[in-house]
Structure 1
């Protein structure tokens, strides 16, 4: 588990460098309380901010924040591919900070520590090509485009190759039903439409109309996040289901790192019905697979989680009012039902 002071580790494989004590890093208490499914990781892989998309070939592509300590440094953007969500192959370092990073390759200081790392990259298949959006702490947001039309690249800056697009973290892209493409980031409180080829802004940034109150919480929905007119504070994501937009960001809900979503009929809002999605499943995205099933990614980022900083998938459903809940069938459960991922 990465952190600014170092890396905590618990496992059979010995590390070649000193690690910090594991302690209570992953108690599994949210599983014990039946707040979240008892799932196993997709891979024994150190990965934060897990994000998965469906590619043009019908396969699945996964990325996220990689490297043993992304609070200090990493190499760039790495990518994995699967045809069934269960078996993953490594496609490699598809974009290198040293080789192609440009403005993003500069070293900066973070709390007195030299820092250079890509945070929360996402891969998207839009308009027949692959794009990667990302952020660099202490720098800003960027968007890459595949020069080959293949998910493994090589990639180049889609626009603004000389500087970041905007200060902030956790960029995400969304393609609407009409083909329009949108960019938001951080807490999702502003959004912009991009040109069709993602080569620039089509319009100005606008504020999203978020709920006036953040009262939500999971089971009894009786408690509130701190602050007003907000969802969470980072990890923005956006998807659409049955004509409604779901805008989410990660918040701290009773000590859990959870997505807090709200819904709207227009992409800019007003958004309503803020709610904690699957408890502890924060950071990443919600997507629909080729068979029509809905999933939320997760990676374990709080002490209530059963594992930490590994890629995970939880199948989700929606209640009568449209709130995101865990599905009864969990193909990646440690006690699986007859349902399967493939």
Structure 2
């Protein structure tokens, strides 16, 4: 996510109508007793083993409605409501993250994401931290993490916040100075946290998240729990002074020079090893103690196949399935008019006549973590800034949230259905040229967790 890509609602274009608008870390071993039910077996999609032909030229966006979350392939998770959610009746969330881990022989589902404070329409220029929900299954019940024993006076489910500075102790940092709230004449209160991910690795819980554009320093950091999924969490040593990676020029003009680092950090684990995945094509190996990344002069880059007009990509993550590595990134499909007067959808840079349409997930596949990765394809329309995961019976899913800042879901007629905790089923097309797509149409079927 980025605040630089907010559009006025008036930017809706007739081009979208011409395009045909429609409706809407590998899992640890499952214990032998965790067999799927008969209903779950029936709902497991079979591999279609059919890749759609690539669109030409490379860089065009696939808008087919089969790649949209629909009633037959997706659902909105019934996350426990906080007091701020009662009026809407649904949690307002961006960058929805859901995963399933096996802990002490049982499946544990977790959910988190970017949320906003009451009174603000966006999760900026400040928000109040990271909330976590847990459940024994996708169906629920989805309960806020039980944090009241740690902070009796704080809102239930809030596991980390810039406001927790009072928890800092010698030898234990919860909130670094660069993560604290601050104030100026332009924005008033400043400092927001974006796009948290939650991982269970080597018996511990980790959160990777990003301090957003209005923070003193903008970039990714990692927390580790000294208890359960509810915390308490502390900041790892490598982020006491700054986010991961070096600073560079980027982001909105109001970000102070030297304050912008690599955003949207994520964690990929395999065996006993772990890597940080960042936007701008970067990754880094974590030290064995997980207190920082391995030092290097320059962070290594994934070997990718860029588009002819490589746009800004964000929300990067890596997912392994059936021996293949899938590099998942988010890109805006921008509409324009081709030389023949028809609507053109492509992953272009901004330009005259190019209007943001859908925030898509684009994916490439490789036999190796670092690449080289194949050409990208559209895995799902409007599901950008997502994560792929496997449930406890082996079904593949992606999250989505419907971006309210611009494009299709920012339209006044649809904005009420944006920023949701959504999940959509995926299908795999087989080993030969394996691709992951949003599960394509099955008539007469509805999805359940």
TM over 0.5: yes
Q: Gapped runs of 5+ residues in structure 2?
A: 25-63, 79-89, 146-156, 165-173, 246-260, 334-344, 346-356
* Maintained 8 Å contact 2:175/2:234: no
* Maintained 8 Å contact 2:163/2:181: no
Shift of 1:97: 1.1
| Mapped pair 1:90 → 2:144 | yes
Match of 1:195 in 2: 287
Aligned counterparts of 2:195 and 2:428: Cα–Cα separation in 1: 26
Aligned counterparts of 2:422 and 2:188: Cα–Cα separation in 1: 30
Shift of 1:21: 8.2
* Maintained 8 Å contact 1:315/1:329: no
Match of 1:53 in 2: 99
Match of 2:445 in 1: 337
Note the alpha carbon deviations across 1:28-72, whole angstroms, 9 max, x for none. Answer: 933266241324422411000001122324111111101142121
Note the alpha carbon deviations across 1:253-310, whole angstroms, 9 max, x for none. Answer: 2321011111111211111131111111111200111110110000001543463111
Aligned counterparts of 1:168 and 1:286: Cα–Cα separation in 2: 22
Shift of 1:163: 2.5
Match of 1:119 in 2: 194
Note the alpha carbon deviations across 1:169-208, whole angstroms, 9 max, x for none. Answer: 11100001x3210001124x11101023311223532111
Match of 1:209 in 2: 303
Q: Classify the secondary structure of the residue corresponding to 1:210.
A: coil
Match of 1:153 in 2: 231
Aligned counterparts of 2:183 and 2:194: Cα–Cα separation in 1: 14
Match of 2:179 in 1: 104
Q: 1:21 to 1:238 in 2, by over 3 A?
A: closer
Q: Classify the secondary structure of the residue corresponding to 1:30.
A: coil
Q: Which protein has the bigger strand share?
A: 1
| Mapped pair 1:323 → 2:402 | no
* Maintained 8 Å contact 1:4/1:72: no
Q: 1:58 to 1:40 in 2, by over 3 A?
A: closer
Aligned counterparts of 1:163 and 1:244: Cα–Cα separation in 2: 33
Q: Write the mapping of 1:1-342 to structure 2, written as runs, cut at 5 A.
A: 29-31=21-23, 34=65, 35-38=67-70, 39-43=74-78, 44-55=90-101, 56=103, 57-68=106-117, 69-87=122-140, 88-91=142-145, 92-99=157-164, 100-102=174-176, 103-107=178-182, 114-138=189-213, 139=217, 140-148=219-227, 150-160=228-238, 161-166=240-245, 167-176=261-270, 178-187=271-280, 189-202=281-294, 204=296, 205-211=299-305, 213-214=306-307, 226-227=309-310, 233-253=313-333, 254=345, 255-301=357-403, 303-305=407-409, 307-320=417-430, 321-328=433-440, 337=445, 340-341=448-449
* Maintained 8 Å contact 2:128/2:162: yes
* Maintained 8 Å contact 1:250/1:257: yes
* Maintained 8 Å contact 1:329/1:339: no
Q: Gapped runs of 5+ residues in structure 1?
A: 9-19, 215-223
Q: Which has the higher contact order (CA 8 A, sep 6+)?
A: 2
Aligned length: 307
Shift of 1:145: 0.2
When Rg is computed on C-alpha atoms for both structures, the one with the higher figure is 2
- CA RMSD after TM alignment: 3.2
Aligned counterparts of 2:316 and 2:331: Cα–Cα separation in 1: 10
TM-score calculated relative to the size of structure 1: 0.80
